[in-house]
Amino acid sequence: MSDDADAEDATDERRIETRAIHAGQEPDEETGALMTPIYANSTYKQSAPGEHTGYEYSRTGNPTRTDLEENLAALENGSHARAFSSGMGAINTVLNLLEAGDHVVAGDDVYGGTHRILTQVYEQYDLETSFVDTTDHEAVADAMGENTELLWVETPTNPLMNVNDIGALADIAHEHDALCAVDNTFATPYLQRPLEHGADIVSQSLTKYLGGHSDTVGGALIVDDAELDDEIGFYQNSVGATPGPFDSFLVLRGTKTLPVRMDRHCENASELAEWLEGHDAVDRVYYPGLESHPQHELAAEQMDDFGGMLSFELDGTLEEGSTVVSETEVFTLAESLGGVESLIEQPAAMTHAAIPREERLAAGLTDGLIRVSVGVEHVDDLKADLQQAFDEALD
């Protein structure tokens, strides 16, 4: 084994806190610059036709993006990663791997944009999707048919924080010769690495925790299979939903602090969840870290910690819920999640307002449901802020 191969093996064995900072990050050979530069160029000089450094054109490849992709692959314990201009750009690319006449099975509580692209974009190309409760493995197996080529899994899910068993679902997919893709946006690779549980593809919205500062939009697909990566790379380049160098730089800057941010997100969310569970104004709290969560044990096995997202049911009406989310001052009323700042939203009036009320209630999305992305502020300020909003809404 060459020295180089030894060095590479040592890199693979480093812990995620170290990989987050160093994977894909070598000081520039010429200048010694520590940080990957923002390579703001579209094209690259060739010394003779077809003879080049490996870079020809920036849709196909850009050095800032390459460093980000190497960093993301190391975080998810995969061999390859591909970055996209949004999470939806990444998800679209998974669907590009399929053909007309193929069938997809997906969770019935997947991200709204995933539901939309499967139904409103791909159905017209004769790609049909069955949406099932992915905590019910029998229902998943029943939904898999001869032509099912993809099982799409999210865990934890939005906004009720259902936890799905990645290993068991990957097994079901493979029994039917289908790919298992896991949207790992809520957990992040710091808390959960689906490839280690048998998933074939991990999808990330870099917009959320990996970017981490609510200042950029991006996506990624991570795999542990060079052939599958080649195929994904073909569609990445052909469709062209690639991130620019500045966005790649921002995410690379974000991933360095992912472990320290996630530790605080988890600590704050866990304390807030317990406080809310004991609060008179609250009927129910959805957080995988609570023992009252129906899949708490699975979450404890599959995840290294329970994340920064939680939802709770206010003991109140749609209007009272709207007052709470409008009156908070530390929590910002906004969609999205995963940034350092705490966000609050009311699914019934915002992210899930398009679902008819009866259907929404049947799915457990009550009028008083409130979702929070717990930031890294001091947890006492977060509690005090929710308390004053409760006082305002429920007096």
Ligand X SMILES: *Cc1c(COP(=O)(O)O)cnc(C)c1O
Catalytic-residue membership of 116: no
373 lies in the binding site for ligand X (CB under 6 A): no
Q: Which residues pair with 371 in a beta bridge?
A: 311, 345
> Exposed, middle or buried, 82 (CB in 10 Å: 0-12/13-18/19+)?
buried
Nearer to ligand X, 188 or 323 (CB): 188
Catalytic residue among 59, 253, 256, 284: 59
In 3D, which of 96, 395, 49, 348 has the Cα closest to residue 237?
96
327 lies in the binding site for ligand X (CB under 6 A): no
Catalytic-residue membership of 209: no
Check whether the bond before 245 is cis (ω within 30° of 0). Answer: no
**How many angstroms separate the CA atoms of 212 and 173, rounded?**
32
Q: For 336, list phi and psi in degrees, rounded to 5.
A: 75, 180
Q: Which of 61, 194, 219, 308 binds ligand X (CB under 6 A)?
A: 219
Q: How far apart are the first and last CA of the chain?
A: 72
Nearer to ligand X, 71 or 185 (CB): 185
Q: Which of 92, 134, 155, 205 binds ligand X (CB under 6 A)?
A: 205
Contact predicate 105/151, CB 8 Å: yes
Catalytic-residue membership of 190: no
Catalytic residue among 39, 111, 122, 286: 111
- Residue that is written with structure tokens 């409008």 in the block: 326
211 lies in the binding site for ligand X (CB under 6 A): no
Catalytic-residue membership of 395: no
207 lies in the binding site for ligand X (CB under 6 A): yes
**How many angstroms separate the CA atoms of 308 and 187, rounded?**
8
113 lies in the binding site for ligand X (CB under 6 A): yes
311 lies in the binding site for ligand X (CB under 6 A): no
323 lies in the binding site for ligand X (CB under 6 A): no
x/- site string to ligand X, residues 156 to 185, per CB under 6 A?
Answer: --x------------------------x-x
Cα distances from 111 to residues 1, 154, 305, 352, 363, in angstroms, run: 45, 8, 22, 10, 14
In 3D, which of 108, 129, 133, 102 has the Cα closest to residue 117?
129
SS3 112: helix
217 lies in the binding site for ligand X (CB under 6 A): yes
Q: Tell me which stretch binds ligand X (CB under 6 A): 63-71, 73-81, 83-91, 354-362.
A: 83-91
149 lies in the binding site for ligand X (CB under 6 A): no
Encoded tokens for 119: 């139904």
Q: Tell me which stretch binds ligand X (CB under 6 A): 52-60, 96-104, 201-209, 318-326.
A: 201-209
192 lies in the binding site for ligand X (CB under 6 A): no
Question: Please, which of residues 221-250 interact with ligand X by CB under 6 A?
Answer: none
Taking the complex as a whole, how short is the minimal distance between the CB of residue 338 and ligand X, in angstroms?
A: 8
Cα distances from 362 to residues 105, 183, 198, 355, in angstroms, run: 21, 24, 32, 11
- Residue that is written with structure tokens 């500045």 in the block: 246
Tell me which residue has its CB nearest to ligand X: 87
Nearer to ligand X, 170 or 210 (CB): 210
Q: How many Cβ atoms are within 10 Å of 5's Cβ, its own excluded?
A: 9
87 lies in the binding site for ligand X (CB under 6 A): yes
Catalytic residue among 67, 165, 183, 367: 183
- In the complex, the residues that contact ligand X under the rule CB under 6 A are 86-88, 111, 113, 154, 158, 183, 185-186, 205, 207-208, 217, 219
Question: Active-site residue numbers?
Answer: 59, 111, 183, 208
